Amino acid sequence: MDLRGLTPAPVTPFTKDGKVDYDAIQRLGSWLGSIDGVKALVVLGHAGEGTFLTSEEQVNVIKAFVKSVDDKIPIIAGITGEGNEVAALEAKRAKDAGAKAGLLYPSHGWLRFGYQPGAPQARYRIVYEGSGLPLILFQYPDNTKATYNLQTMLDIAAQPGVFAMKNGVRNMTRWDTEIPIVRRERPDLQILTCHDEHLLHTVFDVDGMLVGYGNVAPELLIEMIEAGKAKDYVRARAIHDRLFPVTKNIYHRGSHMEGTVALKHALVARGILEHATVRSPLLPLPNGAEKEIYSAIQSAQLSRVSA
């Protein structure tokens, strides 16, 4: 599977009464899937509120996104179950629903307590063996206890079934040191940045982006990836500057939790969603935020998408 380009992580749209909105999935998926340079969609990620859905909804969301892209690009599913066997069953369900790969999250208890040496490697092995679903290594930020050290990343990347890494380490010392080593030691591993708020700073080192940001500015992010591959700083910087009001209004607002709500407002501004309903525990943004996000989308000259 070739992810050397943009892989957006779509939001999951909801109706005003909180149900999954399958018509809106069709609009979002068919638009993203029609853009040259979009390589795949990762559904049920953080931006997709994946862990806020029942397992039945998760399966239906995967099927709906598969339908929306008309088999033109692969759908990849976020796999989040805490226990490895539970995650393997989740991955099997995703595969049966049409997902072509999985983005495997760390077991979330690790965020608080850390993990025993070898546990991340075992998690990738068990989930792959139990499901046959190819997997993307997910590197969490350095300031969490669920981040993987260099050797752990190298070990996982050498395991059967692991073909790409989504890296969100957010520590530039580690990024600058580790990315060249991973590239040298695991040349077949596709390296994708997920630093939505630091894309300019990471785009020169990667094969692609796997980002929630890809929901709202796919056209410009594809150009930024091309500029990064051409080592064209001036062009990449110009796109970064044009997008900066959008970046600030989505990703500098607070944590990625606010970011998910803001992404939905931005999709309303682009004419894809009708409203920005999110599922609990997410909350609406404070008064005024919606207007600020609309202005940012306008100032970046991101036009309304016609159906």
Ligand X SMILES: N[C@@H](CC=O)C(=O)O
Interface residues with ligand X (CB under 6 A) are 45-46, 168, 194, 196, 211-212, 256
Min separation Cβ 17 and ligand X, Å:
27
Structure tokens at 112: 């608080």
CB of 211 to ligand X, least distance (A): 6
Which residue in the shown chain puts its C-beta closest to ligand X? Answer: 168
Q: How far is the CB of 100 from ligand X (least distance, A)?
A: 18
Q: How far is CA 18 from CA 79, 102, 109, 115, 211, in A?
A: 22, 26, 28, 36, 24
Is 256 or 264 the residue whose CB approaches ligand X more closely? 256
Our CB check for ligand X shows the closer of 49 and 196 to be 196
Please report how close the Cβ of residue 304 comes to ligand X at its closest, in angstroms: 25
33-64 per-residue burial string, b: 16 or more CB within 10 A, e: under 16? bebeebbbbbbbbbbbbbebbeeebbbbbbbb
In one-letter notation, the amino acid at residue 199 is: L
Q: What is the spatial distance between Cα 171 and Cα 148, in angstroms, rounded to a whole number? A: 12
CB of 175 to ligand X, least distance (A): 12
Residue whose CB is less far from ligand X, 7 or 152: 7
Instruction: Between 129 and 176, name the residue whose CB sits nearer to ligand X.
Output: 176
Q: Give the closest residue to 269 by CA, choosing from 296, 233, 240.
A: 296
Residue with the two structure tokens 């990836």 = 225
Nearest to ligand X of 74, 212 (CB atom): 212
Residue 199 CB, nearest approach to ligand X (Å): 10
Question: Cβ closer to ligand X: 196 or 223?
Answer: 196
Burial class (CB in 10 A: 0-12, 13-18, 19+), 283: exposed
The string of DSSP codes covering 66-91 is HHHTTTSS-EEEEE--SSHHHHHHHH
